[in-house]
Amino acid sequence: MICVPDLTKYRAQFLKETIQEDIGELTNLEEEVLNSIKEQEIIADNLNEHFEENLSFGQRVADKIALFGGSWSFILTFSFLLIAWIIYNAFIINDHPIDPFPFILLNLILSCLAALQAPIIMMSQNRQSEKDRMRAELDYKVNLKAELEIRHLKSKLDLLASHQWKRLLEIQELQTELMEDLNRKK
């Protein structure tokens, strides 16, 4: 019989020794997992909420622009605007078009748009890769904790099974003695 705080302490010590045997040296992540086991805390966290809380206004705007810039809505809208620009300058106002046939102004606008849109999309992708890295780290912690808990349960089951076998052997010995006693009395 042992109290719960001591049980938790010895359990964490057992898990720490198990990890050190398997891996050798404990990393910070593994220390966090052991502390969560010791404190009986939950590791799983809603990463999306945590990540969204820390975004600045500029980062939110960049994400919205990247979301729109990589959509069919953007492609269709932009295609419509390009066709409208060309038709307007080539056919509707033939006398004095704003941007005559080689459409140099249109090329300049497209170049500027690409020059601005590319870094904004890259910023958004960098944040997404950071979020993916954080998700992978969280998955590793949860998996490690689950593995350690399973190992602990397995060792408990093995211990219970060995005690059960001892108990069954003792009962079998008793039954054998009782059978021998009955045979002797006859």
Q: What is the mean pLDDT of residues 48-76?
A: 90
pLDDT band at 24 (very low <50, low <70, confident <90, very high): low
- Over the stretch 97-136, which tens digit does the pLDDT of each residue have? 999 989 999 999 999 999 999 999 999 999 999 999 999 9
Residue 82 has pLDDT above 70, yes or no: yes
What are 66-73's contacts with CB under 8 Å, separation 24+? 66/120, 66/121, 66/123, 66/124, 66/125, 67/124, 69/117, 69/120, 69/121, 70/121
- Over the stretch 10-20, which tens digit does the pLDDT of each residue have? 877 776 777 66
